[in-house]
Every structure is written in C-alpha cells, then in structure tokens.
Amino acid sequence: MRLDRLLAGQGTQTRKEVRELIRKGRVTVNGQPEKAADRQVEPLTDVIEVDGVPLRVREHVYLMLHKPQGVVSATEDRHQPTVVDLVPPELRRKNLFPAGRLDKDTEGFVLITDDGAFAHRILAPKNKLPKRYTAVLDHRLDPAVIGEFEKGVDIGGGDHTLPAELTILENGENPRVSVIICEGMYHQIKRMFERFGYQVIYLKREQIGGLPLDPALPKGACRELTDEELRRLEEKEGEDAQ
C-alpha cells in the first residue's frame, strides 16, 4: 500500500496534509525518514512513525458509508452497483462486507467491515442494538399508531416485531417521522407502516447504536471510524440511541 494512502486512511488528516508531513521528513519507515509519498509499505510489518509516534494500524477495517439510493447492500452483483463498490482503493481490504443491509431504495448509514466477530455483535438480535431511521409517509399519520408501535407489530408472514419507538417530526400531507427499532426483519419498517395503511415513500437510516451518520459525509462516500466512534456504535443507551 502507498504510504500516503495508509496515513490518510487513518482518518485524522487529508491526503494533502499527509503529503506535507512526508515532504517535511516527519514520517519514518523502519527508522529512516521517508519523503516519497508513493513508497510501498506493508502496514502490518513495517514500523511507521509520525513525529516519533508509532502508527497503530488496525487489524480490521471499519467504515461508515453514506449509502445512496440505487445501490444494493451486497459484496458483489453482476447487474447493480454494491456498497462495497463505493469503497475507495485506499480503504479496500479483502473480504469487506456490509454489516447489515439496507433496501436498494433506502439511504443512510451502512457499516462496512472485514471483522466478522464485530459484525455479529452489531447484528445479533439478542443484543437489541437500536437503529434509528427517518421515514416519509404517503399521508397524514394518526398519532394512535405511536402506541401500536410501542406494543410491537404483527407484520405478517409469522413475523411480530419487538416494541419500536415512533416519533412524529412533521405531520402533514407527507409526514416525516423517526423510527427506532432493535432488529432487522425483511422490509421491517415498510411492513410496520403497511399494517396500518401507510406507504413509506422515503427511508433513511440515521444512526446505529449510539453513533449517528456523519452529517458532513456526502452520499456515496465513506470514511474510517475512530476508536471512540467504534465504542459509540455498540452503545444501547444515551440521548441519541434512546
């Protein structure tokens, strides 16, 4: 991997800032100053330091992706673009996969990783990790539906959801609502609203656990998560996670 790509991939500096550090001789590889930004390095075996501080390279990759509509939550697809296709070369690793799925027409936060154990903790139903969504409906919402969501909803096909939190953000011709669920059944939110005669015309995942989607991250872009963000990702409580 190129030295500048490795350093920029740590998420603390831009590629331009990294190249300036390298130009000034503030980066060493195996004890020697390195001024070539395109130097090929091996992250797990070369000793890389910035201002004398060793670079801690993660064994695994954890990415926040802002999924746009029209992209499928899969590792590969012969006919449609996938979330993994959106990962830039400097962040690519073997065996990347989306930890959890969003429908093709749903936008928002998708976690991409190569860490199967971490993904299992995020996805395991027994952990009841909350996920928050914003939805837009096809007509004015009866506030009584809030109580129905709190009890859990029979969505057909033998599926009955856990209690969910429904909040009306704007109620009008096309109401905007917030929904927090702790599981991920097929088309779950759409089926919950359909049970009461509503169609979801827009859906976006805003948050996983205690970590919201970065508002500065454009659609189709992704970035690495910090250690603090990884910790927040697994939170079940707190003001944001409800």
pLDDT at 206: 98
Assign 156 to helix, strand or coil: strand
**pLDDT exceeds cutoff 80 at 236:** no
Distance, in Å, from the CA atom of 168 to the CA atom of 139, rounded to the nearest integer, reads 13
| Options 103, 114, 138, 240, the catalytic residue | 103
Residue 181 pLDDT: 97
Residue range 84-102: average pLDDT? 88
* Better-predicted residue by pLDDT, 106 or 60: 106
- Domains by residue range for the chain, with CATH: 3-54 (3.10.290.10), 62-125+210-233 (3.30.70.580), 131-208 (3.30.70.1560)
pLDDT tens digits for 123-171? 988 889 999 999 999 999 999 999 999 999 999 999 999 999 999 999 9
103 is an active site residue: yes
pLDDT at 12 over 90: no
- To 5 degrees, how large is the angle CA 205–CA 228–CA 121? 60
Write down the pLDDT at residue 130. Answer: 96
Separation CA 16–CA 187 (nearest Å): 42
- Side-chain-side CA neighbours of 35 within 13 Å: the count stands at 3
For residue 11, the model assigns a pLDDT of 60
